[in-house]
Structure 1
């Protein structure tokens, strides 16, 4: 039986372990802990032990019974790489995933160090092979409908996505390098609850040096970086020449249309266009279509190589394949500044990385001012009508703003809300301080999921080898 879920970016949860311990500020209002601890001490209840680490071996073979493909969030009520979960048990989880390639498994962790150490160790792969051969449920013909022995579909498993939680910049700097260093078909970030602004450009570089709309209209106004050789500059400019009605803007637009590797990224790509060409290392410059140049690092005989790119080259050029963002919900929820979510959306768009806004959470954007009348004219109706208009204005207006200010202690930044004294309909309420945004405690359902007039439900495809 599948475990249903309301989590927007998955179809099913598979909790082979329940329970966890707190490791960072993102854990402070953990929904799983709050739920599980309600039942601590209730004899016979599934969470009789509250949120203590509890292995659930009886659930290991569940996905073998699911024939219809689905996205499976592994351990929504725990962390698979918690120190108290044995390597042997984790190997059995991976063995199950290898036997069910029709499903896509999503593993999210805050234990980045153990994830990297375990999955990067060839001995762990051997342990998965051992469990495939020796764990009894994997020999049950009612569950396994293929010939024996069962082949394992390569490593890393192509149907397993690995992610880390990133609630702020400190956790980004700490966890993302380990994720990028771990073999995975897809690497993703869950920036939820988002507790501060996060810059991901180190691991998710922009495809182009600037947005097309900001680029100059002629090559005479364009400035090349010093590292781009003169001959490469000439080749690009001659193809995108004004003579043919082209410009730097068209060149940059083509980068995004083709899904080119990031401009200036240091990559290993093919040297030339033949079958299985030799690989060389250099900085990428887009030319046209799927053709580019690699400016070589240390070749004494030439400055650049001709190259072309495909889907896998694009994936290798970045460390992150998917970004999920969301605000906190529930009692004591901390607010997500709209600009933090907007910044992640803009960064992913520039890097052609899918973006998924899961929720605003308890707090969401709201208008700062909802006037009941023209300030120059004044109210023209009755007192009863004015009272109604004020109530309607306050229902739709903001009562708080996120100041963007913080307190810092032991390297941790804590953001807070500042309440504005003037009501949303007050003629004294004129403008917000710079860097702040009007928000309101709507509740998760009313706050919704829209950012700038639309929902963001983008998801990746597994392309990394």
Structure 2
């Protein structure tokens, strides 16, 4: 089902699949896996197998039923481009997206090779925002090149959990960057300078910047709750959202 989201950069979540497997260090303390175990314990049928990949075709039509224009985060509890999700199911998701132009859909993946291969043979719906996770240099930064070459209206980076300084990045063709630290009991700390470096590069290269959270470690290096650490970077919030009208596709 679609659900009102607490994620600061979206409005609703839509999960036509749930479950995933780990592919890189950003997955180590996956919030979706933790939440899936909790929902399994609560007896929700969709989560009866915990975080095992599960296709839910009965959820495909849900966005059609919502008349209010909405920003949807697609598969907050999974990865739409997981290798075990067949192309025909992704096609069905894209058909719903294309048929509901009143909504905007944010799709985030760590599987950039599958993302590229899929859209090499298919058009990208104009109301889709495509993003890749960029948690570190080794696994995350190479995903940017794959994303840059896909003709989506909005292309974005989720640098969360940010695990190290990402160095100098080529952000050409990228419209939006989200930065955040890791939350949860085993959160790894994010250094303030890592976030500032991304912000500076966004400003220099014309990319909209969004600072989501410090997570479990504050800017002062102290362990607190995510709420207590807040969302301010250098004394203010950074809530930039991309301008879908101004963004230029290929």
Q: TM-score, normalised by structure 2?
A: 0.94
CA contact 1:41–1:49 (8 Å) conserved in 2: no
CA shift for structure 1 position 200: 4.8
1:325 equivalenced with 2:179 (yes/no) = yes
Determine the C-alpha separation between the residues in 2 that align with 1:70 and 1:199.
35
Task: Summarize the alignment of residues 39-54 of structure 1 with structure 2, pairs less than 5 Å apart.
Answer: 39-40=39-40, 45-54=45-54
Which structure 1 segments of 5+ residues have no match?
126-154, 205-317, 367-438
Determine the C-alpha separation between the residues in 1 that align with 2:23 and 2:124.
27
CA contact 1:120–1:183 (8 Å) conserved in 2: no
Cα deviation code 1:398-421 (max 9, x no counterpart) = xxxxxxxxxxxxxxxxxxxxxxxx
1:171 equivalenced with 2:150 (yes/no) = no
Please provide the CA RMSD for this pair: 1.5
Name the residue aligned to 2:79: 79
CA contact 1:328–1:334 (8 Å) conserved in 2: yes
Name the residue aligned to 2:70: 70
Name the residue aligned to 2:228: 446
Name the residue aligned to 1:95: 95
CA shift for structure 1 position 90: 0.2
Determine the C-alpha separation between the residues in 2 that align with 1:120 and 1:95.
17
CA shift for structure 1 position 2: 3.5
Q: 1:361 aligns with which of 215, 219, 222?
A: 215
Pair 43,346 (structure 1): closer, same or farther in 2 beyond 3 Å: closer
Name the residue aligned to 1:370: none
Name the residue aligned to 1:157: 125
Determine the C-alpha separation between the residues in 1 that align with 2:139 and 2:44.
38
Cα deviation code 1:166-204 (max 9, x no counterpart) = 0011123321111112221111000000000013532x2
Determine the C-alpha separation between the residues in 2 that align with 1:33 and 1:26.
13
Q: Which structure has the larger Rg over C-alpha atoms?
A: 1
Cα deviation code 1:221-246 (max 9, x no counterpart) = xxxxxxxxxxxxxxxxxxxxxxxxxx
Name the residue aligned to 2:28: 28
CA contact 2:141–2:166 (8 Å) conserved in 1: no
Cα deviation code 1:357-406 (max 9, x no counterpart) = 0000010123xxxxxxxxxxxxxxxxxxxxxxxxxxxxxxxxxxxxxxxx
With a CA cutoff of 8 Å and minimum separation of 6, indicate the structure with the bigger relative contact order.
2
CA contact 1:161–1:184 (8 Å) conserved in 2: yes
CA shift for structure 1 position 44: 5.7
Determine the C-alpha separation between the residues in 1 that align with 2:215 and 2:41.
31
CA shift for structure 1 position 36: 1.1
Q: 1:337 aligns with which of 163, 172, 191?
A: 191
Q: 2:154 aligns with which of 168, 172, 186?
A: 186
